Amino acid sequence: MDIEALLPRPLDPQSGLECPTILGAMLTASHFERAKARALGWRGILPSVSETPGWTCKIAGSPYVFGLVFAGERVIGDKYIEGIFHSYVFPQPEDALLERFSLAALHQAMEEDYSARIRRIGAHEDTLQDFLLGLLRLKISLDKQALSLSLTAPDHHRTIAVDGVAAEDGRWVIAPGEYDCDVPAFRLLVRFFGTLAGTMEKQAGEQAGYWLNTSPIPVQGVDTAGNFSPCPGRHVRLIQLTATLGAAAEPPDARRLSHLPLRHRPAVNADASRPVLHVLTGFLGAGKTTFLRHWLDFLHGRERYTGVIQNEFGAVNVDAALLRGSTGVEALEDGCVCCSLADSLRPGLERLISSMPAQQIILETTGLANPESLLATLQFLEDLVVPGLIITVLDTCRMEENGFPGEEIHRAQIEKADVLILSKTDLHPEQDVHGLALHAAELNPRALVLCADNGHIAFAELDAWLEAHGDYTQCGPIPALPHTHGKSGITAHTVRLSPEASRQAIEAVISAAGPGLIRAKGMVRLRGEGMCMIQYASGTLNFENVPENTPPSGLILIGSGLLLSGTE
């Protein structure tokens, strides 16, 4: 057995933190080797930022989020150290499983900060006790020659409402003596344990032995005062599943298993080891980054780890600075990705894939990208990613004013889309939005059309649609097409401003640029206001405060025939 790579030093029985150090090293080693992580069954691992070591995880074959929190460590004789970790299962608020948890757990899941507390489980464990379903024990000999991992959980986590729970009108929500909680704890946790045990085997370089024992324990009842007591005549089975490596002794009174139940088996299909690459496109100023920020919030709230490749048209990267705080971002600069795919997109993808085990990657293109040119070259990246779907954001303000712009690029973005997002619908009456949606559906009958209000859409509907249409076969070999945005005469220029510009100065630059200005954006320090994000599109200029440590970028102007001075 070889675990020196995990902890290349002697164990210290007095530290009290050896077991979380070993477990953390094991998880980290898998997390940063993406192909290995996915083969073992990992779909995301997030360390909790707190004094108490903890992790939240997603695994293949389960829709739930799993949590581990270090609960303590003890020395057994003069030979072993054993660490104990609380094991949690967190359903999403819409999951049917939540109905089997207690009423207190249901209340917790409906609170606005539920997902945020899960992600920082080490700091918020005391508020999440209703989701605690089992214990994990990691035991290692001081000479590092014996290692074991065990899961202890009841077959059903049950509590009885002794006095019942009544609504305000006196009707019983839970009648006296009925279950307040009845969750299949062991069945939920065993798949997670299998992924942990498989990871332990991989790190140790040998096959583990597996052992199972059971014993009856009484079901607990809880009264209205919150006091727990055993319920006579009602029992569940307490199950302990143990994986042993090296010289670890078999558990007493346990029977050996021929295999580990519900262990993850990697798919034979090579696509399973590659992330899906979705393309997010749309004309300049349509609201792609705003939509993307809200989409990422939705995905990360469900522990769906996502990477972003972001293409800037111009010399200064603005939008990536807005996203980097919450996701892995690679920014491609100095040109459009459909023109320089081989030179910039491949190395950016390689860096992103090596840094995180993302299930999917979103490529946000510049507004000048022609999806026909991009689709023609994605086939050369199939060793890295599975080509996904095209999502196009349409600016309803521009649609209502001018109809659909006649530019060849914009028509291609609409016609090649699998999903059309109508942005800025909050600025129009409902009947107008309905008409715009019908018009979009006429131009691309095969696309899903969704309306965005301040960047928000029915993300669950988009998620289900992507899953249902996720065969990802539309990006096969396509005849190469010449890129077309160069014919439009659209260029980008950067205006360098004084260290603390005024709003009036920004407005003057926008006004002086002339009718050819399509889009403006930048990170600028404003006099008396601090760092601000400047956004101009569809005739509207917006200022939004951003963190003070955001680096200034100058103001990027994008358009044709711009009337400028003091630009690059």
The per-residue pLDDT for 372 is 67
pLDDT tens digits, one per residue of 151-169: 999 999 999 999 988 877 7
Residue whose structure tokens are 């065990």: 150
Strand partners, 450: 421
Distance CA 477, CA 375 (A): 9
Alpha-helix runs per DSSP H in 110-184: 114-119, 121-124
CATH number of this structure's domain 276-469, picked from the four choices 3.30.210.10, 3.40.50.970, 3.30.565.10, 3.40.50.300 = 3.40.50.300
Main-chain phi, psi angles of 411, to 5 degrees:
-60, -40
pLDDT (mean) for 66-91: 94
pLDDT at residue 334 in the model: 45
Note the pLDDT of residue 320: 46
Q: What is the pLDDT, as a whole number, of residue 220? A: 93
- pLDDT digits 0-9 by tens, 310-345: 765 444 344 444 444 445 565 554 444 444 444 567
- Three-class secondary structure of residue 281 per DSSP: strand
pLDDT, position 68: 96
Residue 136, helix vs strand vs coil: strand
The proportion of the chain whose per-residue pLDDT surpasses 90, expressed as a percent, equals: 21
Average pLDDT over residues 474-499: 49
pLDDT at 538: 61
pLDDT of residue 324: 45
Q: What is the pLDDT of residues 166-186, one digit of tens each?
A: 877 788 888 898 999 999 999
Residue type, 299: L
Closest CA to 141 of 82, 197, 79: 79
Q: Determine which helix (DSSP H) or strand (DSSP E) holds 464, and give its type and residue range.
A: helix 459-468
**Which one-letter DSSP state was computed for residue 378?**
H
CA atoms within 13 A on the CB side of 251: 25
Higher model confidence: residue 292 or residue 382? 292
pLDDT, the chain, mean: 78
Q: Is the pLDDT of residue 65 over 50?
A: yes
Whether residue 532 contacts residue 545, with contact meaning beta carbons closer than 8 Å, is answered with: yes
Q: How many helices (H) and strands (E) does the chain have?
A: 15, 25
Structure tokens at 374: 């991009």
pLDDT at 113 over 60: yes
**For residue 315, what pLDDT is reported?**
40
Q: Which helix (H) or strand (E) holds 556?
A: strand 554-559
Amino acid 314: pLDDT = 41
Q: Alpha carbon 542 to chain centroid distance?
A: 29
557 contacts: CB under 8 Å, gap ≥ 6: 492, 493, 494, 495, 509, 513, 517, 519, 520, 564, 567
The beta strand positions in 298-347, using DSSP E, are 306-311, 328-332
Output the pLDDT for position 326: 46
Helix ranges restricted to H, 302-446: 319-323, 346-355, 371-378, 396-402, 408-415, 430-443
Q: Do 258 and 211 form a contact (C-beta atoms < 8 A)?
A: no
Instruction: Return the higher-pLDDT residue of 307 and 155.
Output: 155
CB contact at 8 A, 59 and 49 = no
Rg (CA), the chain: 28
Identity of the residue numbered 448:
L
Which residues of the chain are in CATH 3.40.50.300 domains?
276-469
pLDDT grade for 470, boundaries at 50, 70 and 90: low
The per-residue pLDDT for range 368-421, each reduced to its tens digit, is 666 666 766 666 677 788 888 888 888 877 765 555 545 677 777 888 888 888
CATH 3.30.1220.10 range(s) for the chain read 490-560
Q: Which amino acid is at 484?
A: T
Give 524 or 464, the one with higher predicted confidence.
524
The superfamily CATH assigns to domain 490-560 is CobW-like, C-terminal domain (3.30.1220.10)
For residues 10 and 31, give the distance between their C-alpha atoms in angstroms, rounded to a whole number: 25
pLDDT of residue 165: 85
Q: In this structure, is the dihedral angle defined by the CA atoms of residues 209, 210, 214 and 220, taken in order, positive or negative?
A: positive
Q: Is the pLDDT of residue 248 over 60?
A: yes
The residue behind tokens 């640029």 is: 513
